Amino acid sequence: MSLNKARDVLKTYFGYEDFRKGQATVIEQTMEEINSLAIMPTGGGKSICYQVPGLISQGITLVISPLISLMKDQVDALTSLGITATFINSSLSNEEQRERLNALRQGRYKFIYVAPERFDSDGFLRTLDSIPLSIIAFDEAHCISQWGHDFRPSYRTVVNRVKQLSNIPTLMGLTATATDEVIRDLQQLLNVRNEHIVKTGFARDNLTFKIVKGQSRSAYIEEFVRLSKDEPGIIYAITRKQVDQLHFSLKEKGLNVSKYHAGMSEIARKEAQNAFIQDDTTVMVATNAFGMGIDKSNVRYVIHYALPKNLESYYQEAGRAGRDGAPSDCILLFSGQDIQTQKYLIEQSEMVEEKKRQEYGKLQAMINYCHTNQCLQQFVLDYFNDDTDAEDCGKCSNCIDETEKVDQTKEAQMVLSCVKRMGERFGASITAKVLKGSNDKKVKQFGFDRLSTYGLLSHYTEKDLIQFIHFLVAENYLVSEEGRFPVLRLGKRAVDVLKGTAQVMVQVAKVEKRETTDYDGTLFEKLRALRKELADSQGVPPYVVFTDKSLTEMAR
Ligand code: ADP
Ligand code: MG
Ligand code: ZN
């Protein structure tokens, strides 16, 4: 009964035919005044979860969001649908803020968006106490938790302030972060019972995940952007300097690019953002300062120029592609030296030791993602403990190259015995040196040049050996213990390999193969055009997924 009403509202106000996964449950709970935690992927449709019950309920809905830049857009969107809404934040003059608070007291708004900082003001709390509040929604709620990847201390105190209200309304936390610590923390802070946590599957069927190794990154990007023509895309780099350089070189090549990082003035950033959102520029080159909460639905690709610090960030950033449900690409350009950059960033940060250890652990998972044989989508779902039993995606860079497996059991045995002989006390780089048979001082100092495994794999480069070790870690043949200098130990699959009862299969030729398909300009262009055509054509439902293989067939 009440859901019918909700469906009516969804249709009348938002023009949508039906709820997406999880929305109905959250809405139903909220209408029954039950606190909820909604965990849905980026683009999953979290806003609807509070907007629909907000419209049905008698009172006012307060939305707390750490993203000031986004409030105006969200308010404008609601206003254009004929819904009364406003925002109050530090971008307004004191006079304006007072006016909006007055209007709020007079019941002129159904929705009000504020930043966590608003709660520092006693006056604001008194206003909240004087109006009929039905719902408080904590958007981007992972920022409340210190386990979240974007912790904002001021957001955490809001929870206590809310609990000081004389009538506590129904609470709702919304996030795309699904790690157990964050969930437990939020659950406790927002008083949400186990059975009221709504977690939808995290699989993004319309996204194709790819890892590209071993080629010039800027050349790859240039080519990719050129072939994508006027399809919007985002390129993430780690440092401001990388962003500046990449932006400069793409612009020099005549491509239509903007850039965004925290070192730019607020005006310049705003301009760049607007240009991108309004499709005036096609490509945004940015640090991770860009994009949180930005609702641009037609982003066709997200390229990571460098290794992100963890999978939480990666999945959120990559997930900004294809929010409209159309096929889109998420490409990570991997280069081994990025591992050092990320470690350096952790090392010189101000985090306490315990937190640093966690960050190293998360970084390791990110590195594992780049070296696994598994379906990439599946790997991410496992990481987030997503229990939806999805099949392999059939189109990520690991799924499409399955035929290229090569037996590397012997090499693996050599690496594993080397790690064992070195006493399981050293990291990947020195282990690679020993296997290579390097004259390195440290190798000699520890007497490793006298080991029987010294120089056993001298026909490989040290870089290849390190890659191979990362692969063995990713596949649980080795364990890399967290820390500034990770230590290699034998993993749970090592024994069978050493005994010779298990094989180690590796996909070696992945990158080369992609170069001749994807990277071949004409075929690649055909594929993209075809994909777009198929998505556009009415006969094809948007959720139908074409694997690169099937497209390759068709393009021929
Ligand atoms: P999130 O906050 O989870 O990242 P949003 O709330 O911004 O996602 O929604 C992402 C997009 O999905 C928006 O363009 C929104 O209008 C659209 N959307 C949300 N719910 C539905 C629905 N039930 N049917 C169709 N589109 C929807
Ligand atoms: Mg959102
Ligand atoms: Zn896959």
Any long-range contacts for 228-231 (C-beta under 8 Å, 24+ apart)?
Answer: 228/282, 228/300, 228/301, 228/528, 229/282, 230/256, 230/282, 231/282, 231/300, 231/301, 231/528, 231/532
45 lines ligand 1 (CB under 6 A): yes
- Average pLDDT across the chain, whole number: 86
| Rounded percentage of the chain residues whose pLDDT exceeds 70 | 88
pLDDT given for residue 551 in this prediction: 40
Give the residue, out of 3, 10, 20, 277, with the most ligand 1 atoms within 8 A of its beta carbon, to mutate for a pocket test.
20
- The residue nearest atom 17 of ligand 1, judged by CA position, is 45
Q: For residues 197 and 158, give the distance between their C-alpha atoms in angstroms, rounded to a whole number.
A: 21
Q: Give the full edge-to-edge strand order of the sheet including 233-236.
A: 207-213, 328-334, 301-304, 233-236, 283-286, 257-260
Higher local confidence (pLDDT), 67 or 4: 4
CA-closest candidate to residue 52, choices 116, 120, 118, 3: 3
Percent above pLDDT 90 for the chain: 56
- pLDDT per position as a tens digit, 262-317: 999 999 999 999 999 999 999 999 999 998 767 788 999 999 999 999 998 999 89
What is the complex's ipTM, to 2 decimals?
0.98
Question: Higher confidence at residue 249 or residue 532?
Answer: 249
What integer pLDDT is reported at residue 388 of this predicted model? 64
Q: Please report which confidence band the pLDDT of residue 518 belongs to, taking 50, 70 and 90 as the band edges.
A: very low
Q: Coil, strand, or helix at residue 38?
A: strand
Residues, CB within 5 angstroms of ligand 2 (ion): 46
Judge whether residue 536 has pLDDT over 70.
no
499 CB contacts (<8 Å, ≥6 apart)? none
What number is the average pLDDT over the span 479-487? 80
Model pLDDT for residues 320-329, shown as the tens digit of each residue: 999 887 899 9
Ligand 1 pocket residue status of 13, Cβ below 6 Å: no
- Region 483-487: mean pLDDT is 78
What's residue 21's pLDDT?
A: 86
Distance 70 CA to ligand 2 centre (A): 9
* pLDDT in the model for residue 386: 73
Burial of 387 (0-12, 13-18, 19+ CB in 10 A): exposed
Q: For Cα atoms 365, 373, 432, give the angle at the middle one, nearest 5 degrees.
A: 70
Q: What order of strands is seen across the sheet that includes strand 36-39?
A: 85-88, 111-114, 60-64, 133-138, 170-175, 36-39, 197-199
- Mean pLDDT of the region 49-56: 97
- pLDDT of the residue at 24: 96
Q: What is the pLDDT of residues 93-132, one digit of tens each?
A: 999 999 999 999 999 999 999 999 999 989 999 999 999 9
Residue-level pLDDT at 390: 63
Average the pLDDT over each of 210-224, 233-247, 517-531, 536-550 and give the range with the smallest value.
536-550
Is the CB of residue 27 less than 8 Å from the CB of residue 183? no
In the prediction, which pLDDT does 529 show? 54
Closest CA to 398 of 493, 506, 519: 506
Is there an atom of ligand 1 within 6 Å of 297 CB? yes
Q: Which two tokens stand for residue 304?
A: 């990571």
Q: Are 50 and 137 in contact (CB under 8 A)?
A: yes
Per-residue pLDDT tens over the stretch 1-11: 578 999 999 99
CB-CB contact of 292 with 262 (8 Å): no
Ion ligand 3 nearby residues (CB, 5 A): 375, 392-393, 396, 399
Q: Which helix (H) or strand (E) holds 39?
A: strand 36-39
Atom of ligand 1 nearest to the CA of 19: 23
